[in-house]
Structure formats: structure tokens, C-alpha cells
């Protein structure tokens, strides 16, 4: 079996701060195949964005400690020299960031910003690069592309800016696209259009896509596989169907339970997971979710391995000590998947 | 799958840096700032240096009476001292004073051109310089804050008047403004102010720095007055002054605290500049500025009379500046901008 | 863009008129010395003589007439100091070469040095170089210019004999001597500004490092150098350029008095100092106007530069 496009093994990222070491990412393993969309889900501070940025080397610095392995097409990214890494950034791996309003430099014309990236990686004249930029802008659905390339970012709407960001990301035909919450800052209708662009891109270029998001609706819309992160760790991963119809980790139940549904009782309060995410400076021992988990028991003081625990689907991994059959009953709250209310003393 | 809609992050805490670890609930921002400041060893060290200088200067009379046995204006060029069995005049035949003797009781840091004890004058001069610095800083802070509050809160004509006047003052070099004001007051007098009081210099310095506080305070008030808590106070029928001083002022406090060392350092520097030009503290009062000026008159002889007050002045101002820098970092850890 | 510049220029002229009128009121009419006629007439003059002078110089006319006349005199070069009797324009043009040489030379020096040092400190943020530069800048902002000047003169000029002790040599007389005589004053005037500016620049670069668009630039695979020069410095330079505009204007308008005094340069600062001491209101008014013109012109230039550098201002 050939190696996947991207293989991350046991990635850990720590930042030294005045208060102590922050374990932003604490042992993440995942893989992305060509043409596959992998969604990384979790709440703020779960390490999902840091994981994406680390692949690009954007978290490197005097206060960062990075360990583990991340191979793109067999090439190790984490130990690459800065020079080699720059050749990969924007070329083999491209990234689309969360906030299109602030991710483009306000003082340069958008055309120049796209051309800058193209000419960093390819031997093209300015005119050729500009022609390529026009082509890209048209492809991501910017009308009157040639004219709009001369505009400044503040003359674009949020959705249009995100298209520019995507055009820029695509400019060197990357093998892997990391989209970090690409639709969070946008209206719902624009969201759908942007997702459509990503879907098309995947089928046209066969690029792998990592979609970092906290929005399960987006996940359901586009992902092939889903990775759920909590407090720097992957707590569950599997195919879209496995995750949505047979979720194994109580945290995943909580996520699924807190989604509003069209058919839900509107008078009921939207359930939320009780408590706060743990401090990354001093995470609890064992399972990080244990302090918020109503089903926790003694064994949760040990860290559960990320391993296949369901007998019928070997690709479905999770980190929870509960018995599979017990989980399937515990996760039902009022007939739907959710996290039971905590038992209060 | 389309049954799943909308997002779920509504109840999640906002994105941000890691929370402060294991602090008891209700730890106020000033407690936090103090913790951060304490951890900044360089700042704390220079804060202590400044404190030490202040204490030394306050002890000037003790030193003068009990150790040096002479006051700041005692001594003359023909005073004689005996060191190591050798007796000499404190100034030589061409008027150049002796340098430091390093003997605590006998002209420790040498004499000045008039044969006065440099070490005693240094401490007394420090009292004047620090006194002027502190009073000037208080004048600037109080008037600057009040005017900034008025301009930002009432806007309109009030703001126009205050802002334009402070713009104009701000446009002119502080030294020239200071000289002009000091000259007028020294010659003509202004109420209780006249040429022989230190307060003239303090008032002049306090005045010229006012715009440097008015502008940032006004800008911040303009932002604050649109906030909900001000609306709430208005709805409750609180009066304008009440809102300004009990609602807005507390919100300005961290900005104001940062300005205190900054203005203090600059006020001490400006005192030296004005005194050097003869427009500051008037003789025979000692201040670091007048000591520098008198030392420079001997130039190039007796350079120790320039170095002694000079080193003390730079050390003091630098301590205030470094401590102030640490204070600013502690109060606003994200902001790295100097001003 | 053209409209922006024109609007800026009109505001500029209005500002100048207001500032000059206010200073006229303060200096000629309200402030020191009282009636200028008494000053001209001298201490021993009789009231009748003072009245005669009042009429002759037009001090009995309405204030705005006096204002227009004095301004006209200043601009056509026929204003004379009441006390000293010299031509005010002449005095200013005599002082200007020294002050302009000092301030423009020092201005370029302190701007370039602080860009270099501030960038270095930001790039090496938190490391040894940064700490050393921080300490140096703290010493710099805590050093009164005249003290620094005195120390330089004593050790470098007097003891080592490397630089001249004081004085100004005109560029037209000897460019080399002009340069040699200005090295000390340039350093003296610049140190405080370098200390302050490099700290401001370091801060604004560090702030910009956290901007999303800088992260985007890195993610594009640009070299660190290109990220720094094209994406960070352009915006980070704005705050120190606007500081520079005002500081240069003030230094030309007499703000370099301490440096001029310690290095014996007879420039505008010295002239202002003497004029204050002598209550020479006409000379002072001329210098105030000079400062105001410099401040207004420089702030207009800074605004225009801002608009060139940041398209959001230009179009918004």
C-alpha cells in the first residue's frame, strides 16, 4: 500500500510561556489521501488550527517545541530547513485562513498579492503571472476578474476576499490545501458557495484538503473523513457516517447533541457541554475530557490510546475506555445522540 | 445530512491565549499586573534604584549635618581641607575645584567652583529636581486628565477649543515654550510664583506637557463614551461630571498610570534643560540642572562637577524610564508599542 | 488624490492664519512688556513721547490692522526688532544655515539609525541583541542633549582632539570643515530621538508580526526578508514617520536650542533664546511663525505620505 499524501504521526507542539509550557497539540496522528477531504473538528483551543499551522512551519519559533513526524509525499516537514520549507509553503501546501477581512495585506492590490505568490515559486514573467491570476479569479467565481485584480482588498466584500484567498492558495496547484475555518466569518449563503468551490477543486485537481472547522454543518456537507480534537488530542476519527451515526467518544456526542435541528423542540434550551475546556498549561491527568464527562469512571485517570474499539470498522478510532455496547445506550438522550446532563451531587 | 444546520460554538469560550493558571476567582487586573511586574526583574531593580535615590535625597539634611558637617551653600573657594596629611584649598589658583576625595566626611565628591560641597549639593539638588519633577507631573496629570475628559465627553465646542489650543501648544518645542513662560514669570511674577521659588519651574514644566496627556485621554474617552456602561449611567440620570469621574475615570486608570513615570522622567529632564539655559531653578538653590550649568561654566576644567550631577541625573531618569517600561508591559502585556 | 492634496493645502493655510493671529495677540498685545511703544521709547521716555511712537508705529490702530501690517512687514522683510533694532528677517536668515544643517542632517541620521536599530531589535526580539538595544535606547532617552554634548566635547574634542570643539563653518566655505563641525551636534541631537524612535518601531513591527496578512505572506512561501520589507515595514514605519515630521519641524523652529547652545552654533534656537530674554516680541513672532509653517507643512506632507502608503485613507 503506497503512503498517503500526508501522514502525521504523534505530532506534539508545546509553547513555552511565562506561566509554563502550553501543550497546544499533544500527540496527533492522522492521514490525508489525495482527493480526500478530512475535517478536523473541535472547539477553540483544541489545537486544530495549531496543527494546520505547524504543517506549514508557521508555529516555528524560539518558544515552540515541536516533535513527532509529518510527511508530505514521504518528505518530512517538521525537520525541513527553513529554506526547503519556504519552497513547500504556498507551493505544495497552501493555506486559506479564517478571517478574509484581515488576511490580505490592505496596502497592495489583490492582483499583486496573487502574482507575488506565483512568482515566488514559478519562473514566470509578470504578464504571465497576471494572466494566471485572472484565470484563477475567474475559476473561483470573481466576476470581471481582470478589472478587479487592480482593486485593493478593502474594496471587496468578505465572500469575495475569501475567493481571492482561495485563488491565491490554488495559484501554484498545491497537493494539499489547509482551509482553517474558511467560512466562519461569512454569511450562510456565501458559505455554501465557498464550500462548492472547495468541492470542485477537490474533484478537478485531486488535491487533499484538510478542513479545520467547528461547524458540523460544514463537515456534513463536504468531508469524507472526520477527526475530532479535544484539548490538543485526537479523541475520535472515522468516516463521516461512522462519526455521525455511531459516535464513540462522549465529547463527540456532546458536539452532535448541541446542534440545532429543524425538527427539534424550539422551546427546549439548546444543550451545551457543561464546564470549560481544560487549561492547556495543566491538563487533567488521563482522559482530558474526564472532568466534564458525566460517564467518567476510575479508569479515566489513565490516558486511553487512540485505537479501533468497534469490532466491525477498523478505521474508526477513539480514545474512550467505555465498552462499545454501553456507549451505544449511554449516548441516547431523549432518543437522539447527545451528552447526558451531568449528575450533580 | 442537511438536518444538521448552523453552528455549535455559541456556548464556547472565545478564542484567546491560555488562561492565567490557578488564580483565585476575582483576581483583579491590578493584582495580575503586579504579578507580571514582579516577575520583570530588570524593572523591579530599577524601581528600587529610583526608590533608593529618593531616600538618599530626602536624607540630605542628615548627611549635611552629621557627616559632611556643612550645608549646601556653605564653603568658599578658600576653604581648606586636609587629606592624607596634606592641606589644600578646595579650588586651585585658577578657580578649578578639587575632584572627588572619596572621603565621606570631607568633600566626598569634590567641590564646585564656589568651594561648596558637591556631595551635599548633589543630595539637596536632587531634592529640588525630584520635587519639581513630581509637582510638574501632578500638574500635568491632573489638568491633562480633566481637560481630556471634558473634551472627549462633551465634544462639540468644548472639544474644539481644548483640542485646538493643545494642538498649538503641542506644535512648539517644549524647551522654547518653557523658556518663554519661565522668563515671563521670573520677570513679572504670576500670583505666588516668582523667580526664587522652585514652584515656578514646576508649574512651567507641568504646563508644557499637558497636551501630551490631553490627546491620548481625549481619544480614549471618545471611544469609552459610546460603550454600554456609559449609556446605562445616562439612563439612570447621572450628571455629566458624575459620569466623567465615577464611570470614565476608573476606565482610564491604566493609561494614566503608564503616563506617570513617563511624564516624571521627562519633567526631570526638562528641569535640567531649563536650568542649564538659566530659565529654570535660580541660584543659589541647587538642582541637578543648575549644578550642571555651573559645572559647564568652568569647562574644560573641573569636569567632575559636570559628571557628578550628570551621572546622577541620567541614572534617575533611566530608572524611572525602565520601571515605567516594565509597568506598561505589565498593565498591557499585548501592547509592545512605546507610546 | 489631487483633491485630497488640495483639501489638505487649504486647511494648512487656514491653520497658519489662525496660529499667527493667536501668537500675534499673545506676544505683541497681551503678553510681556505691555505696550511695545514703551519698549521702543525706553525707560526715560515721557508719556507724550510714548504716545507719539504709538501713533507712528500704528499701535493705536485696531488689532487686526496691526496684525496685517506686522505680517506684511515680516513677509517683505521690513520688520525690525523694537529693542535691538536689527532686521528680523536678516537675523533669521543668518541663523538658518546652521540650524538647517544641524536639523536636516541629524534628522536623516536619527531616522535611518532608528529604522535600522528598531528593525534589528524586533527581528531579534527577546534575544541578547534586543536586550542590549533596549538598554541602550533607555540610556538614550534618559540623556539630556546638553550633557551628552558636554561629554562628547570633553572626551572626543578636548581630550582626544578628534572633533572640533565648537562653532559652525559654512558649507560654501569648506564642505569638509562643515561636516567635521556638525558630526558632534548631529550625534548630540539624534541620540534621544534614536532611543525613542527605535522603541516605537520595534513595538509596531512586533504588533505587525501578529497581523493575519503577515501570516498569509509567510504561508505564501516568501522569504523572511521579503515578508519584513514588503509586508511588515511599510505599515510599521508610519508611526515613526509622523513623529519625524513634527520633530523635524520643532527642531528647525528652535527646538535644538540645547544642542545649539552646547556646541556654540548660532542658529534659530539661540536667536529664540536671546529674543525671549530681551522680550524681543517681533523676532519671537517671526520664529513662532517659522515653527508653525514648518509644523503645518510637515504634517501635511506626513498626511499625504500616509495616503500614498495606505490606500484605505486615499479612497476612504
Domain ranges of chain B: 50-56+122-331
Q: What does the alpha-carbon distance between residue C190 and residue C181 come to, in Å, rounded to a whole number?
A: 15
Q: Residue A231: its chain B contacts at CB < 8 A?
A: none
Q: Does the predicted TM-score (pTM) go above 0.90?
A: no
For residue C281, what is the nearest residue in chain B, using CA coordinates? B180
Higher pLDDT: C17 or C45? It is: C17
Distances in Å between the Cα of C37 and the Cα atoms of B67, C45, C49, C61, C86 are 57, 10, 9, 13, 17
pLDDT per residue as tens digits for the range B198-213 = 888 999 999 999 999 9
Question: Do the beta carbons of residue B167 and residue B210 sit within 8 Å?
Answer: no
pLDDT per residue as tens digits for the range C186-242 = 999 999 999 999 999 998 998 888 889 999 999 999 998 999 999 999 889 988 998
Q: Residues of B at the C interface (Cβ-Cβ below 8 Å)?
A: 164, 168, 171-176, 179-180, 183-184, 187-188, 265, 269, 272-273, 276-277, 279, 292, 296, 299-300, 303, 306-307, 310, 313-314, 317-318, 321-322, 325, 335-339
Give the gyration radius of chain B's Cα atoms. 26
Q: Determine the pLDDT at residue A300.
A: 87
Q: Say how far residue A254 (Cα) sits from the centre of its chain.
A: 19
Q: What does the alpha-carbon distance between residue B219 and residue A321 come to, in Å, rounded to a whole number?
A: 57
Q: Determine the pLDDT at residue B3.
A: 32
Per-residue pLDDT of chain B (339 residues; tens, 9 = 90+): 333 322 222 223 333 333 444 455 556 777 788 888 888 888 899 999 999 999 999 998 888 888 878 888 887 777 777 777 777 777 777 777 877 878 777 778 888 877 788 888 999 999 999 999 999 999 999 999 999 999 999 888 888 888 888 887 888 888 988 988 888 787 777 777 777 788 889 999 999 999 999 999 999 998 888 888 888 888 888 888 888 888 899 888 888 998 999 999 999 999 999 999 888 888 888 899 999 998 888 887 888 889 999 999 999 999 999 999 888 888 875 543 333
Q: Which of C131, C221, C305 to mutate to test the interface with A (most CBs of A within 10 A)?
A: C221
pLDDT per residue as tens digits for the range B14-61 = 333 334 444 555 567 777 888 888 888 888 999 999 999 999 999 988
Q: Determine the pLDDT at residue B4.
A: 32
**How far apart, in Å, do the first and last CA atoms of chain A sit?**
53
Instruction: Tell me the residue length of chain B.
Output: 339
For residue A16, what is the nearest residue in chain B, using CA coordinates? B18
Q: What does the alpha-carbon distance between residue A247 and residue A219 come to, in Å, rounded to a whole number?
A: 14
C315 inside 8 A of chain A by CB: yes
Query: Is the preceding omega at residue B284 within 30 degrees of 0, hence cis?
Result: yes
For residue A107, what is the nearest residue in chain C, using CA coordinates? C310
Alpha helix (H) residue ranges in A82-157: 82-88, 100-103, 110-121, 126-139, 145-148
Sequence-ordered strand ranges (E) for chain A: 6-17, 20-32, 37-41, 64-72, 75-76, 93-96, 176-180, 208-213, 225-230, 233-239, 260-261, 307-308, 317-318, 332-333, 336-337
Positive or negative, the Cα torsion across A320, A326, A329, A330?
negative
Torsion on CA atoms A267, A272, A275, A280, rounded to nearest 10:
-160
For residue A87, what is the nearest residue in chain C, using CA coordinates? C221
Q: Which chains touch C (3 or more CB pairs under 8 A)?
A: A, B
pLDDT per residue as tens digits for the range B139-161 = 999 999 999 999 999 888 888 88
Report the SS3 class of residue A142: coil
**What average pLDDT does the segment C267-281 reach?**
85
pLDDT per residue as tens digits for the range A277-328 = 788 888 888 888 888 888 888 888 888 888 888 888 888 999 989 888 888 8
Q: Determine the pLDDT at residue C39.
A: 67
Q: How are beta strands A93-96 and A260-261 bridged, if at all?
A: unpaired
Bridge partner list, A14? A23, A65
Q: What does the alpha-carbon distance between residue B3 and residue C263 come to, in Å, rounded to a whole number?
A: 81
Positive or negative, the Cα torsion across C59, C61, C67, C70?
negative
What count of Cα atoms within 13 Å lies in the side-chain half-sphere of residue B278?
A: 8
**How far apart, in Å, do the first and last CA atoms of chain C sit?**
11
Q: Determine the pLDDT at residue C27.
A: 66
Domain boundaries of chain C, sorted by first residue: 96-267
- The mean of the pLDDT values for chain C is 85
Question: Do the beta carbons of residue B168 and residue C289 sit within 8 Å?
Answer: no
> Residues of chain A whose pLDDT is less than 50?
1, 344-345
- Tell me which CATH code domain B50-56+122-331 carries: 1.10.3720.10
With an 8 Å Cβ cutoff, are B273 and C146 in contact?
yes
Q: Residue A17: its chain B contacts at CB < 8 A?
A: 18
Nearest to A105 among C126, C213, C224 (CB): C213
CATH number (1.10.3720.10, 3.40.718.10, 2.60.40.10, 3.40.50.300) of C96-267 reads 1.10.3720.10
Phi, psi at B106, each rounded to 5°? -130, 95
For residue A264, what is the nearest residue in chain B, using CA coordinates? B3
With an 8 Å Cβ cutoff, are B5 and A261 in contact?
yes
Q: What does the alpha-carbon distance between residue A226 and residue A238 come to, in Å, rounded to a whole number?
A: 6
Amino acid at each position: 500500500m503506497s503512503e498517503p499524501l500526508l501522514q502525521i504521526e504523534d505530532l506534539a507542539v508545546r509553547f513555552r510561556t511565562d506561566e509554563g509550557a502550553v501543550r497546544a497539540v499533544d500527540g496527533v496522528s492522522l492521514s490525508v489521501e489525495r482527493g480526500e477531504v478530512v475535517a478536523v473538528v473541535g472547539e477553540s483551543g483544541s489545537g486544530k488550527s495549531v496543527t494546520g499551522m505547524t504543517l506549514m512551519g508557521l508555529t516555528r519559533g524560539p518558544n515552540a517545541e515541536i516533535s513527532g513526524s509529518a510527511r508530505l509525499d514521504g518528505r518530512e516537514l517538521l525537520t525541513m530547513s527553513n529554506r526547503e520549507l519556504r519552497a513547500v509553503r504556498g507551493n505544495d501546501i497552501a493555506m486559506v485562513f479564517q478571517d478574509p477581512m484581515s488576511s490580505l495585506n490592505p496596502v497592495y492590490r489583490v492582483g499583486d498579492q496573487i502574482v507575488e505568490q506565483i512568482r515566488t515559486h514559478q519562473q514566470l514573467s509578470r504578464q504571465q503571472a497576471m494572466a494566471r491570476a485572472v484565470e484563477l479569479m475567474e475559476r473561483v467565481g470573481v466576476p470581471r476578474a481582470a478589472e478587479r485584480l487592480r482593486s485593493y482588498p478593502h474594496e471587496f466584500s468578505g465572500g469575495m476576499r475569501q475567493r481571492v484567498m482561495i485563488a491565491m492558495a490554488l495559484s501554484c496547484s498545491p497537493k494539499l490545501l489547509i482551509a482553517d475555518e474558511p467560512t466562519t466569518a461569512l454569511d450562510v449563503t456565501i458559505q455554501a458557495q465557498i464550500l462548492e468551490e472547495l468541492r470542485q477543486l477537490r474533484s478537478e485537481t485531486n488535491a487533499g484538503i484538510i478542513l479545520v472547522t467547528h461547524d458540523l454543518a460544514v463537515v456534513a456537507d463536504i468531508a469524507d473523513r472526520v477527526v475530532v480534537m479535544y484539548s490538543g488530542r485526537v479523541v475520535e476519527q472515522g468516516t463521516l457516517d461512522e462519526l455521525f451515526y455511531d459516535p464513540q467518544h462522549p465529547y463527540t456526542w456532546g458536539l452532535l447533541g448541541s446542534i440545532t435541528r429543524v425538527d427539534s423542540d424550539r422551546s427546549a434550551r439548546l444543550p451545551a457541554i457543561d464546564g470549560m475546556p481544560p487549561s492547556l498549561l495543566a491538563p487533567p491527568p488521563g482522559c482530558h475530557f474526564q472532568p466534564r464527562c458525566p460517564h467518567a469512571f476510575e479508569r479515566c485517570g489513565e490516558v486511553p490510546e487512540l485505537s479501533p474499539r468497534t469490532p466491525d470498522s477498523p478505521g474508526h478510532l477513539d480514545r474512550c475506555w467505555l465498552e462499545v455496547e454501553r456507549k451505544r445506550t449511554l449516548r441516547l438522550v431523549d432518543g437522539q445522540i447527545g451528552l447526558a446532563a451531568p449528575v450533580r451531587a | 445530512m442537511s438536518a444538521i444546520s448552523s453552528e455549535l460554538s455559541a456556548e464556547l469560550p472565545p478564542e484567546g491565549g491560555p488562561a492565567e493558571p490557578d488564580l483565585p476567582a476575582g483576581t483583579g487586573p491590578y493584582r495580575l499586573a503586579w504579578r507580571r511586574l514582579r516577575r520583570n526583574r530588570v524593572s523591579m531593580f530599577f524601581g528600587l534604584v529610583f526608590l533608593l535615590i529618593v531616600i538618599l535625597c530626602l536624607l540630605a539634611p542628615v548627611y549635611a549635618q552629621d557627616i559632611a558637617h556643612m550645608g549646601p551653600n556653605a564653603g568658599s573657594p578658600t576653604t581648606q581641607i586636609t587629606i592624607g596629611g596634606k592641606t589644600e584649598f578646595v579650588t586651585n589658583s585658577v578657580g578649578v575645584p578639587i575632584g572627588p576625595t572619596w572621603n565621606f566626611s570631607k568633600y566626598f565628591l569634590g567641590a564646585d567652583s564656589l568651594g561648596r560641597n558637591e556631595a551635599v549639593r548633589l543630595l539637596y539638588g536632587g531634592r529640588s529636581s525630584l520635587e519639581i519633577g513630581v509637582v510638574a507631573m501632578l500638574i500635568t496629570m491632573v489638568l491633562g486628565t480633566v481637560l481630556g475628559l471634558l473634551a472627549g465627553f462633551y465634544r462639540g465646542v468644548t472639544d474644539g477649543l481644548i483640542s485646538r489650543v493643545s494642538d498649538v501648544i503641542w506644535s512648539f518645542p517644549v524647551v522654547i515654550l518653557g523658556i518663554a513662560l519661565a522668563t515671563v514669570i521670573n520677570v513679572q511674577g504670576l500670583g505666588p510664583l516668582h523667580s526664587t521659588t522652585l514652584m515656578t519651574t514646576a508649574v512651567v514644566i507641568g504646563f508644557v506637557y499637558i497636551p501630551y496627556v490631553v490627546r491620548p485621554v481625549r481619544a480614549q474617552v471618545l471611544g469609552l463614551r459610546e460603550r454600554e456602561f456609559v449609556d446605562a449611567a445616562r439612563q439612570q440620570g447621572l450628571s455629566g461630571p458624575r459620569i466623567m469621574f465615577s464611570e470614565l475615570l476608573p476606565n482610564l486608570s491604566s493609561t494614566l498610570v503608564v503616563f506617570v513615570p513617563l511624564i516624571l522622567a521627562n519633567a526631570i529632564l526638562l528641569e535640567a534643560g531649563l536650568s542649564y539655559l538659566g530659565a529654570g531653578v535660580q541660584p543659589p538653590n541647587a538642582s541637578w540642572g543648575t549644578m550642571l550649568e555651573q559645572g559647564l561654566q568652568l569647562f574644560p576644567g573641573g569636569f567632575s562637577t559636570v559628571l557628578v550631577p550628570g551621572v546622577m541625573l541620567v541614572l534617575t531618569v533611566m530608572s524611572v524610564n525602565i520601571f515605567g517600561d516594565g509597568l506598561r508591559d505589565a498593565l498591557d502585556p499585548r501592547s509592545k508599542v512605546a507610546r | 488624490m489631487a483633491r485630497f492634496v488640495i483639501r489638505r493645502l487649504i486647511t494648512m493655510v487656514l491653520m497658519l492664519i489662525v496660529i499667527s493671529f493667536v501668537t500675534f495677540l499673545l506676544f505683541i498685545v497681551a503678553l510681556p512688556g505691555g505696550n511695545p511703544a514703551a519698549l521702543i521709547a525706553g525707560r526715560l521716555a515721557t508719556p507724550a513721547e510714548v504716545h507719539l511712537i504709538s501713533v507712528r508705529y500704528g499701535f493705536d490702530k485696531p488689532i487686526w490692522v496691526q496684525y496685517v501690517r506686522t505680517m506684511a512687514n515680516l513677509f517683505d522683510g521690513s520688520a525690525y526688532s523694537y529693542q535691538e533694532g536689527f532686521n528680523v528677517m536678516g537675523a533669521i536668515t543668518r541663523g538658518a544655515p546652521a540650524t538647517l544643517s544641524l536639523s536636516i542632517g541629524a534628522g536623516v541620521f536619527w531616522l535611518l539609525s532608528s529604522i535600522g536599530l528598531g528593525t534589528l531589535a524586533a527581528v531579534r526580539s527577546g534575544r541578547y541583541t534586543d536586550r542590549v538595544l533596549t538598554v541602550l535606547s533607555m540610556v538614550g532617552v534618559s540623556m539630556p542633549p546638553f550633557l551628552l554634548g558636554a561629554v562628547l566635547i570633553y572626551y572626543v574634542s578636548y581630550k582626544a582632539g578628534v572633533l572640533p570643539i565648537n562653532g559652525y563653518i559654512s558649507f560654501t566655505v569648506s564642505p569638509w570643515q562643515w561636516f567635521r563641525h556638525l558630526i558632534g551636534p548631529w550625534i548630540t541631537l539624534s541620540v534621544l530621538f534614536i532611543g525613542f524612535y527605535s522603541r516605537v518601531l520595534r513595538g509596531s513591527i512586533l504588533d505587525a508580526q501578529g497581523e493575519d496578512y503577515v501570516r498569509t505572506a509567510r504561508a505564501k512561501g516568501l522569504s523572511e526578508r521579503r515578508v519584513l520589507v514588503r509586508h511588515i515595514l511599510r505599515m510599521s514605519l508610519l508611526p515613526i514617520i509622523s513623529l519625524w515630521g513634527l520633530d523635524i519641524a520643532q527642531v528647525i523652529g528652535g527646538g535644538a536650542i540645547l544642542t545649539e547652545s552646547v556646541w556654540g552654533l548660532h542658529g534659530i534656537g539661540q536667536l529664540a533664546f536671546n529674543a525671549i530674554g530681551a522680550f524681543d516680541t517681533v523676532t519671537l513672532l517671526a520664529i513662532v511663525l517659522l515653527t508653525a509653517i514648518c509644523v503645518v507643512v510637515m504634517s501635511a506632507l506626513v498626511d499625504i505620505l500616509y495616503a500614498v502608503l495606505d490606500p484605505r485613507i486615499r479612497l476612504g
